[in-house]
Amino acid sequence: MSYLNIDAQALNTYDAIVIGSGISGGWAAKELTGKGLRTLVLERGRDVRHVTDYPTTNMQPWEFEHRNQLKRDVRDANPIISKCYAFYEGTEQFFVKDAEHPYVQEKPFDWIRGYQVGGKSLMWARQTQRWSDFDFDGPARDGFAVDWPIRYADLAPWYSYVERFAGITGNKDGLATLPDGEFLPPHEWNCVEKLFQQKMASRYKDRHVIMGRAAHLTSPKQIHFDQGRAQCQHRTICERGCPFGGYFSSNSTTIPWAAKTGKMTLRPNSVVHSIIYDEKKGKATGVRVVDTNTKQMQEFYAKIIFLNAAALNSNLVLLNSTSNRFPNGLGNDSGVLGKYAAFHNYRAGISGEYDGDLDSTTDGRRPNSPYIPRFRNVLKQETGFLRGYAAGFSAGRMSYSDQNAIGADLKQSLLNPKLGGWHVGSHMMGETIPKETNYVALDPNLKDPFGIPQLKISIAYDDNDDKMVKDYQEQLTEMFTEAGFKNIKLRDDHRNPGLDIHEMGGVRMGKDPKTSMLNKWNQLHAVKNVFVTDGACMTSTSTQNPSLTYMAMTARSADYAVKAMKKGLV
Ligand SMILES: Cc1cc2nc3c(=O)[nH]c(=O)nc-3n(C[C@H](O)[C@H](O)[C@H](O)COP(=O)(O)OP(=O)(O)OC[C@H]3O[C@@H](n4cnc5c(N)ncnc54)[C@H](O)[C@@H]3O)c2cc1C
């Protein structure tokens, strides 16, 4: 028997374990296998293989039973996930339904999740901006959270590294607030977007309108062909999965690349319950996993562990990893685990109309739109709230066709729709301030179907967020008016936190182990062979879409981890 046990232990032992196969876990898998480590990737959801597991990717609207709309009973049964704009008949298979994996909302929180190989990388909106030192300096300058242990210079080469591989479209705009990257050619503007850009440039020194930076192959390079990907076709149905690999997802890019090394074992249907800590060794030795098919618990072992289960689930795994040494969660000597969670404030929007340029219209689709980088409180504090917001912007022409026509008339009407005026719109992307009172914890009573405590989420807006919404509305109204837009309408939809899908923090980085969980290499201060490189590590949130930063941090941290491992430091 003992022989068998030893064999079983050897069979379940790897150099590295990666928990989660989404955007950050995919990068960890690619980097660790690329550096020669036998790596086990544990994913709680089912396998989703590139191309073959995108069942709706080539379907036309009329091929869906409900014309690609959500059925009423699906909507009624899923009040949370139905709020997400990307959840519709063609994408239902990629989102966690409300009843499937319950959590406790101590305060209202819409938790949008994708539990499958690829995680949310399949459905994301692909916006990718770098941070700058205005972001990393934020907490120290404005006196909240703790100082980041890294600055832009630490991450800059890693941004370049991941951008080149993932393929990022954008324009080199030369802005200090939003450093340029390794860009593929940018997407095109339409004339009203260009007009807005020019009017803002002539009216304001510090307000810029740029073309969005996004993970799309506008002009693929050899490295992308080597990944088996091809040029983006502008189908704008990305969240169904793209058979061209036109946008970056773990499924099309990092996971197959890791598989090609022959060093990766991908184990779907494997929920990580907790990380095993060995007190004698003073290290983590592996993980406990519940197999979702058999509901049996199993252990896997490795020298280093990358935790990439997405921000809130990574908090859950650490909180659930208790031992004599760490009774309140792995690495939680500081007591900050689960605290200082934050998100992005997407509550506000503005729309308007433009009655010029009626001799022009748009042609085709574009999976991207212009972007207004943060301009508030950048060089100095100038408002009654801390930090600021970025904004999306787009313009398009309304078109109408006669839906009551039939036969040839219907065809004609669809091919030659009547054009209305231009509509313009923007939405706010505000930074929120991480606070001790915004936290996640384990519910003491409720368990999920795998016997794991449910996550209790207690996260809310504050006065700073309300002031920011008001300022966004005032400033954007001024900017829209300057541009000559009319019929301006404001929106504050008071959506719950979470619907921004950028939850962050709880396992924050910092210089001082007494006030933070992770050091500058994303390594637990107290357990050096555990690395957390998803949104849980974020000390503050800034305004940029976060995933590019997770990719760069993961690649940097994996590079450090392998070097440290070779030197016997972890
Ligand atoms: C509609 C939508 C639009 C978005 N738009 C943007 C955007 O434009 N730009 C941007 O930067 N971000 C965007 N995001 C957010 C982006 O998807 C996330 O920031 C990103 O996916 C986070 O990467 P991750 O690796 O941390 O998590 P995920 O990609 O969610 O992957 C985590 C993986 O871990 C698995 N997992 C969880 N718990 C366990 C466990 N206990 N054991 C094993 N496996 C586990 C999950 O099943 C999942 O596969 C968007 C998201 C959505 C849904």
Task: Give the residue-averaged pLDDT of 466-487.
Answer: 98
Counting residues of the chain whose pLDDT is more than 90, the rounded percentage is: 94
Answer yes or no: is the C-beta of 501 below 6 A from any ligand 1 atom.
yes
User: Is the CB–ligand 1 distance for residue 369 below 6 Å?
Assistant: no
Which atom of ligand 1 sits closest to the CA of residue 310? 26
205-208 own/partner pairs: CB under 8 Å, 24+ apart: 206/375, 206/378, 207/372, 207/375, 207/479, 208/173, 208/175, 208/372, 208/373, 208/375
Which residue has a Cα nearest atom 3 of ligand 1?
124
Residue of minimum CA distance from atom 49 in ligand 1: 119
Q: Name the residue of 120, 162, 330, 504 whose CB sits within 8 Å of the most ligand 1 atoms, as the mutation to test its pocket.
A: 120
Helix axes 547-566, 152-166, angle to 10 degrees: 100
Cα separation, 170 vs 167, whole angstroms? 10
- Give residues with Cβ within 8 angstroms of 3, minimum separation 6: none
Q: Residue 464 corresponds to which amino acid?
A: N
Count of helix runs (H) and strand runs (E) in the chain = 13, 21
Atom of ligand 1 nearest to the CA of 452: 41
Q: Report whether residue 44 contacts ligand 1, using a CB cutoff of 6 Å.
A: yes
Q: How far is the CA of 145 from the centre of ligand 1 (A)?
A: 24
- The proportion of the chain whose per-residue pLDDT surpasses 70, expressed as a percent, equals 99
pLDDT 10s digits, 139-198: 999 999 999 999 999 999 999 999 999 999 999 999 999 999 999 999 999 999 999 999
Residue type, 210: I
Judge if the beta carbon of residue 28 lies within 6 A of ligand 1.
no
> Once rounded to an integer, what is the mean pLDDT over residues 335-340?
98
What is the rounded distance in angstroms from the CA atom of residue 308 to the CA atom of residue 21?
Answer: 7
Q: Is ligand 1 within 6 A of the CB of residue 129?
A: no
pLDDT of residue 242: 98
Residue minimizing CA distance to atom 13 of ligand 1: 124
Which residue matches tokens 């832009």?
152
Atom of ligand 1 nearest to the CA of 84: 1
Protein residue closest via CA to atom 46 of ligand 1: 115
pLDDT of residue 9: 85
Q: What does pTM read for this prediction?
A: 0.97
Task: Determine the angle formed by the axes of helices 23-34 and 547-566, rounding to 10 degrees.
Answer: 30
CA distance linking residue 205 with residue 427, whole number of Å: 21
45 Cβ inside 6 Å of ligand 1: yes
Burial class (CB in 10 A: 0-12, 13-18, 19+), 29: buried
Q: What is the DSSP string of 53-87?
A: T-TTTT--GGGSTTTTPPPHHHHHH-TTGGGSTT-
Which of these, 123, 120, 124, 145, lies nearest to 135 by C-alpha position? 145
Residue 525 Cα, ligand 1 centroid: separation in angstroms? 25
- Give the number of the atom of ligand 1 that is nearest the alpha carbon of residue 250: 29
Closest CA to 539 of 389, 430, 433: 433
In tens, the pLDDT along 3-36 reads: 556 677 889 999 999 999 999 999 999 999 999 9
| pLDDT score for 146 | 98
Q: Give dist(CA 197, CA 51) in Å, integer.
A: 38
Residue 280 pLDDT grade (very low, low, confident, very high; cuts 50, 70, 90): very high
Judge contact between 74 and 83, C-beta under 8 A.
Answer: no
Ligand 1 pocket, residue 534 CB under 6 Å: yes
SS3 445: strand
Average pLDDT score over the chain: 97
Cβ–Cβ < 8 Å for 427, 456: no
Q: What is the pLDDT of residues 523-563, one digit of tens each?
A: 999 999 999 999 999 999 999 999 999 999 999 999 999 99
d(CA 191, ligand 1 centre) in Å: 35
Tell me the CA–centroid distance for residue 248 and ligand 1, in Å: 13
d(CA 160, CA 346): 28
How many whole angstroms from 304 Cα to the centroid of ligand 1? 22
For tokens 């022989």, what's the residue? 3
Q: Is the CB of 126 under 6 A from ligand 1?
A: yes
Measuring from atom 47 of ligand 1, which residue has the nearest CA?
115
The pick from 501, 541, 553 for probing ligand 1's pocket by mutation, whose C-beta has the most ligand atoms within 8 angstroms, reads 501
Distance CA 179, CA 544 (A): 12
Number of Cβ within a 10 Å radius of residue 506: 30
The residue whose C-alpha atom lies closest to atom 2 belonging to ligand 1 is 124
Alpha helix locations (H) across 373-484? 407-415, 463-482
Quick check: 209 and 479 in contact, CB under 8 A? no
1 has pLDDT over 60: no
Report whether pLDDT(317) > 70: yes
Q: How far is the CA of 312 from the centre of ligand 1 (A)?
A: 10
Mean pLDDT across 480-494: 98
The answer to whether the CB of 252 falls within 8 A of the CB of 202 is no
> What is the CA(324)–ligand 1 centre distance, in A?
32
| Helix then strand then coil, % of the chain, to nearest 5 | 30, 25, 50
Compute, in angstroms, the gap from residue 165 CA to the centroid of ligand 1: 19
Q: What are the backbone dihedrals phi and psi of residue 12, each rounded to the nearest 5 degrees, phi first?
A: -95, 15
* CA 473 – ligand 1 centroid, Å: 30
Distance 22 CA to ligand 1 centre (A): 5
Rounded CA-CA distance 218/17 in Å is 34
Asked whether 176 and 134 are in contact (CB, 8 A), the reply is: yes
Q: What is the pLDDT of residues 384-416, one digit of tens each?
A: 999 999 999 999 998 888 878 889 998 888 888
CB 166 near ligand 1, within 6 Å: no
Q: Is 14 in the pocket of ligand 1 (CB under 6 A)?
A: no
Q: Tell me how far apart the alpha carbons of residues 285 and 262 are, in angstroms, rounded to a whole number.
A: 23
Contacts of 415 (CB under 8 A, 6+ apart): none
Convert the pLDDT of each residue in 99-138 to its tens digit.
999 999 999 999 999 999 999 999 999 999 999 999 999 9
Q: What is the pLDDT at residue 5?
A: 65
Q: For ligand 1, atom 14, which residue shows the shortest CA distance?
A: 124
Q: How much is the pLDDT for 2?
A: 43
Residue 417's pLDDT band, with cuts at 50, 70 and 90, is confident
Distance 251 CA to ligand 1 centre (A): 13
- CA–CA separation, 515 vs 530, rounded Å? 18
- Please say whether the beta carbons of 218 and 184 come within 8 A: yes
CA of 285 to the centre of ligand 1 (A): 26
Task: Work out which ligand 1 atom sits closest to the CA atom of 95.
Answer: 53
Residue 6: predicted pLDDT = 67
The DSSP-derived string for 2-26 is HHHHHHHHHHTEEEEEEE--SHHHH
In this predicted structure, the answer to whether residue 281 has a pLDDT above a threshold of 90 is yes
